[in-house]
Amino acid sequence: MRKNASQLLQVLFDRKSIRNFKTTLIADEAAEKIVEAGQRAPSACNLQTYSVVWVKNEEIREKVWNACFAPKDIRKAPLLFVICADVRRLIKVLDYLGHDHCLKHGQGYALKLMSIIDATLVAENMTIAAECYGLGSVFIGSALANKKVIEALNLPRGVLPLTLLCIGYSNEQPPIRPRWSLKSILHVDKYRDMTEKDIESFLEQMDFLLDKEGYYRKYSGGKRAYRYRNHIKSKTAMKVPDKEESEIIAAMKESGFFLGEPL
């Protein structure tokens, strides 16, 4: 095992999302190092199809926060990054080389999907780097293909916002949140479906531990009766996503991230 590897592993195991930040400022040098650490993430074919927008201007920050319905305690985070899949920069290089590339003709859908993976890996590296600085972080997924975010940041075609990454000093000390058991997500040689007993055991654990923390009451004002099983139902309800999904689809199409969209 490499020197200090056990300390890094402990950082990974101790990480949890922070939703209440102090307003303490963070030096630009530290912020830049966090983004640099993001760049060291794996990149498919080393195409580096991602961009990070550091939102510093207060007026633009407010537009982005509002577009993503960010709670007030999260808005205190001094560092606000928008993580983007970005095939535009690759296209610029290919055009410079005079190459008649696949993206120009509505092909290269795998490249667009891989750019989303690239950007996600960058975001994860950044969260770990933030932890190493003693900082907390949280992702806000409502930035995904959000047209108001695209407009606020003047993102051109070929650049798709995926998530906000909010970083700052924690103003809370939440417990480690529960996860599926290792045996439930680690499959050896072939996939194994969950039994009803596995599912009920998982739901009972999630309900008990999140209720013990007061998770839903703390962050959303939910009633005590609201549990994890209610949460996953609400996130997958039919009545809500129709409009949201149509807006996401439209934004992805306008950004050129749909199959057959030339860039």
Q: What is the pLDDT of residues 119-159, one digit of tens each?
A: 999 999 999 999 999 999 999 999 999 999 999 999 999 99
Q: Does domain 16-174+241-254 have CATH number 3.40.109.10?
A: yes
Q: What is the pLDDT of residues 28-45, one digit of tens each?
A: 999 999 999 999 999 999
Q: What is the pLDDT of residue 117?
A: 98
- Which residue do the tokens 């912020």 mark? 31
Q: What is the pLDDT of residue 75?
A: 98
Q: Which band of pLDDT confidence, cut at 50, 70 and 90, is reported for residue 224?
A: low
Ordered by start, the domain boundaries in the chain are: 16-174+241-254, 182-226
- Which residue do the tokens 């998770």 mark? 215
Please state, in angstroms and rounded to a whole number, the distance separating the CA atoms of residues 102 and 194.
41
DSSP alpha helix (H) spans, the chain:
5-14, 28-39, 58-67, 88-96, 109-132, 147-153, 182-185, 196-213, 215-220, 228-234, 241-254
Determine the average pLDDT of the residues in 256-260: 91
Q: Which residues contact 206 (CB under 8 A, 6 or more apart)?
A: 178, 227, 228, 229
Q: Quick check: 167 and 77 in contact, CB under 8 A?
A: yes
Q: What is the pLDDT of residues 167-197, one digit of tens each?
A: 999 999 999 999 999 999 999 999 999 999 9
**CB burial of residue 26 (10 Å; 0-12, 13-18, 19+):** middle
Task: Collapse the DSSP code of 3 into the 3-class scheme (helix H, G, I; strand E, B; otherwise coil) and give the result.
Answer: coil
Q: What is the pLDDT of residue 242?
A: 65
Residue 15 backbone dihedrals phi, psi, to 5 degrees: -65, 140
